[in-house]
Structure 1
Amino acid sequence: MLQNPLDVDPTIDVIFKIASGIFWSITYLLILRRGFADKSYGMPMVALCANLSWEFIFSFVHPHSTPQLYVDYAWLALDAGILVQYLMYGKKEFSEHLPGEFFYPGFLLTLALSFLFILLLSREFNDLNGVYAAFGQNLLMSVLFIHLLLKRNSPLGQSLYIALSKMIGTLFPSVLLYMYFPGSYLLVLLYVSIFIFDMIYLLLLYLKMKGAGINPWARL
């Protein structure tokens, strides 16, 4: 449970939240662009379900205060677009491993469990701002991006700019939350772990594109 936050200048709080909102929105927009260009989905399904659940819960069930609430609305709208992309392009890859008729039930089950897990985690730990859930699923997303790259053995649906925007978008709230709760060692572990896996993903993605004869910086 996060208690007794330190004082942080309100202007810094707003700036860091808006900066995080901008870079994560850029991440989602780039995923949408790359996905339509490659005719594939760019966000792993479990990460997408977690994002949609978190954004819905903290927009409507336990709404954040502004400006974070407006950021949540924007993220939810963008992730809804990524959802459409996953439903359009995801079944083909899914069918390579499991029968296609499990595609929609599997997605709905994952979405329902993600929603319940995030909701109950936040209530159990009295964390109605969703901090633990946000950084926990961010770490999960970092690992899943690596898994997606290795599974496909190609940069399909991905770009260095997506990876960089995600990493920068995470650094802002990491620093902000550290200013509020410098004594939370669990959060510090999450911040550091996310950064490490994001750097690993960047390196692997760069090497994969170079190996495929793709200029990593020309692939938007």
Structure 2
Amino acid sequence: MAQPIINLEDYTVLQHILFALGCLLWVFTYIVVLKVIKKSAFIEIPLIAVTANFAWEFLWSFVFMTNMGLLYVWGYRIWFFLDCFIVFNLFRYGFKQIELPSLRKRAVLIIASGIASWFLILFFYIKNYDHPISHNGAYSGYILNVMMSAMYIPLLLRLSRTQPFNVWAAWFKGVGTLLISAFCFLKYTDGFLLSMCAVTTVLDATYIYLIMKRMNLKNVKENAAVLE
């Protein structure tokens, strides 16, 4: 059955605005991350989170389909195609996130295994528990988001003295996810999902606080220059 551009029968205008703006800020996040990769050959998104995101975005772009409208179907596909460039560079530079020499030498195998594992796990989880009509990937998406937001913090604390972390990427990711969480609070009532939204907000706020605290004015200016 063909979908409308946006589904106004099951979702309100406010819900669409919150979700669409949140998705757009995630696009900005990926663009900033790619600019940092080009400039510094470092990927600031945690390695395992990149592999999970890649699998999730492929599945929701080409296997499962949101009922929010074609605008979001193609929005997910934009996420996926941007993520293809991030994953390509993860195979090139992902080893920089790994400190143990024995594991660093096997970075490519770890990344490939992570992608394959997440494809398998997420396919069956979405198929059985995260139905496109009732949940639209919110459960699987936020399970991954809690993991990602939690992993950003130790990665920053371990590597911020030697590797670049962009403050704009942190803000775009944090505010974008916050807007999507606001959408979830307006649309859903399940405590499990909403608790993940709340935890992700706290973790993202902590990450933003830490990255702002650890960066001096010069670093902030250099971060801003990435956007130019």
Q: TM-score range by the shorter chain?
A: 0.7 to 0.9
Q: Verify: 1:119 aligned to 2:123, yes or no.
A: yes
Task: Quote the residue 2:138 is aligned against.
Answer: 131
Once the two structures are superposed, what CA deviation does each residue of 1:172-191 show, in whole Å capped at 9, x if it has no partner? 2211121111x211122111
- 3-state SS of the aligned residue for 2:223? coil
Q: CA 1:195–1:99 in structure 2 vs 1: closer, same or farther (change >3 Å)?
A: closer
1:32 and 1:42 in contact (8 A); partners too:
no
After TM superposition, the runs of 4+ consecutive aligned structure 1 residues lying more than 6 A away are: none
Q: CA 1:192/1:155 → structure 2, altered by over 3 Å: closer, same or farther?
A: farther
1:49-128 superposed matches below 5 A:
49-65=51-67, 66-94=70-98, 96-128=100-132
| TM-score normalised by L of structure 1 | 0.87
Cα-Cα RMSD: 2.1
Contact 2:130 2:138 (8 Å CA) reproduced: no
Tell me if structure 2 keeps the 8 A contact 1:154–1:208: no
Unaligned runs of 5+ in 2: 1-8
Helix, strand or coil at the partner of 1:63: coil
Q: Does 1:172 align with 2:176?
A: no
| Aligned counterparts of 2:130 and 2:209: Cα–Cα separation in 1 | 37
Which residue number corresponds to residue 3 of structure 1?
Answer: none
1:16-55 aligned within 5 A: 16-55=18-57
> Does the Cα contact within 8 Å between 2:15 and 2:186 map onto a contact in 1?
no
- Whether the 8 Å CA contact 1:50–1:111 is kept in 2: the answer is yes
Counterpart residue identity of residue 114, structure 1: W
Structure 2 Cα separation of the partners of residues 168 and 80 of structure 1: 23
Structure 2 distance, partners of 1:113, 1:149, is: 25
Partner of 1:185: 191
Give the deviation of 1:207 after TM superposition: 1.9
1:154/1:209 contact within 8 Å kept = no
The normalised TM-score by structure 2 is 0.84
CA distance in 1, matches of 2:138, 2:29: 20
**8 A Cα contact 2:15 2:187, kept in partner:** no
Question: Is it true that 1:140 corresponds to 2:147 in the alignment?
Answer: yes
